[in-house]
């Protein structure tokens, strides 16, 4: 009898043909499983591919005694109780490779949209109140500006490549400083976080959500930034104190923010929706046809390799 692998969200089944050759693949008929149907499947599954919207809690794992691996569909895994999984002998993997380029691309697109006021001008045209004067609709250029990247991992490095196209000076802050050779090859300068915030024209966030990074950006940090500075967050919503950000935007402590992620999403702080100096997208950093296919492939490959005893998986515990 084939082992059962549960996929928490509805995805194109053709993405998982490789998985279905080896396992019985179970996924919901609609976007998510009804609670009753999920309860029937949990005791019978050996593996799970979970979206970041599905909380894999200790209680969920307790209802799945045969569960051996939880493969996060995305790079983030803060929806999974990794400590509880480790106690139960359950392996957790994530999916860092496929999300790299699309997330970096989206971060750069948000920078451009915010700096050049593209969504704001689009709304004005559609609503019939666009202004056409030479000194109207003035944005700011990215060319030659200073970009501060907080989190110089794979995605941060990819964003740096986009910044090079705009001839931006790039500061970075990371838990571990890169070697001098790496800094020289990438054309980046290390800075303490306070220094980065004070000197950057745009700050782009690329950190995982951990107890240490939660609300790393709050009222104190916004006061350090230039009044003309822009904040871009494509990482995790709770790395930024959303209420403090809304207030900083309202009073002009910083000029604007572009966010793809939010605290408590899909709910969004109403104040952020009411501001004109925000650009907001509903966690679409990886939402391309090509990326979804690659994410499915890599998540399935982690499952297959795990059960084949191959250690070459994206293991996080």
Catalytic residues: 236, 265, 283
Q: Say if CB 233 and CB 256 are below 8 A apart.
A: no
| 97/100 Cα distance (integer angstroms) | 6
Q: What share of the chain is helix, strand, coil (3-state, %, to 5)?
A: 40, 15, 45
DSSP per-residue letters across 29-50:
SSSB--HHHHHHHGGG-SEEEE
Report residue 96 as tokens: 């860092």
Residues 6 or more apart whose CB falls under 8 angstroms from that of 196 comprise: 148, 150, 171, 172, 173, 203
| 196/225 Cα distance (integer angstroms) | 9
Per-residue burial over 39-63, b if 16 or more Cβ lie within 10 Å, else e, is: eebbeebbbbbbbbebebeeebbee
Q: Say if CB 257 and CB 249 are below 8 A apart.
A: yes
Place of tokens 């923010």: 257
Report residue 64 as tokens: 């799945």
Q: Which helix (H) or strand (E) holds 119?
A: helix 118-127
Q: What are phi and psi of 302, to 5 degrees?
A: -60, -40
DSSP per-residue letters across 287-317:
-SHHHHHHHHHHHHHHHHHHHTT---S-B--
Q: Which helix (H) or strand (E) holds 104?
A: helix 100-115
């Amino acid at each position: 009898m084939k082992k059962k692998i549960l996929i928490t969200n509805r995805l194109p089944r053709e993405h998982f043909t490789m998985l279905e050759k080896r396992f019985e693949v179970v996924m919901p008929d609609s976007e998510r499983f009804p609670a009753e149907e999920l309860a029937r499947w949990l005791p019978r599954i050996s593996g799970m591919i979970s979206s970041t919207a599905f909380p894999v809690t200790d209680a969920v794992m307790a209802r799945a005694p045969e569960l051996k691996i939880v493969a996060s569909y995305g790079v983030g895994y803060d929806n999974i109780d990794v400590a509880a999984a480790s106690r139960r002998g359950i392996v957790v993997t994530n999916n860092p490779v496929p999300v790299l380029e699309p997330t970096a691309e989206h971060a750069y697109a948000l920078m451009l949209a915010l700096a050049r006021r593209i969504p704001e001008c689009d709304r004005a045209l559609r609503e019939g109140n666009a202004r056409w004067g030479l000194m109207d609709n003035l944005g700011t250029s990215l060319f030659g500006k200073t970009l501060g990247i907080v989190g110089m991992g794979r995605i941060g490095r990819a964003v740096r490549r986009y910044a090079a196209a705009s001839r931006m000076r790039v500061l970075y802050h990371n838990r571990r400083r890169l070697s001098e050779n790496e800094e020289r090859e990438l054309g980046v300068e290390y800075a303490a976080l306070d220094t980065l915030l004070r000197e950057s024209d745009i700050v782009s966030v690329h950190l995982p959500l951990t107890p240490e990074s939660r609300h790393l950006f709050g009222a104190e940090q916004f006061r350090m930034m230039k009044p003309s500075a822009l904040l871009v967050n494509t990482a995790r919503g709770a790395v930024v104190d959303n209420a403090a950000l809304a207030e900083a935007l309202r009073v002009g402590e910083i000029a604007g923010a572009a966010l793809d992620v939010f605290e408590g999403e899909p709910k969004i702080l109403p104040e952020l929706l009411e501001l004109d100096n925000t650009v907001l997208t509903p966690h679409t950093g990886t939402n391309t046809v090509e990326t979804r296919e690659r994410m499915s492939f890599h998540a399935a490959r982690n499952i297959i390799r795990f059960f084949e005893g191959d250690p070459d998986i994206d293991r996080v515990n």
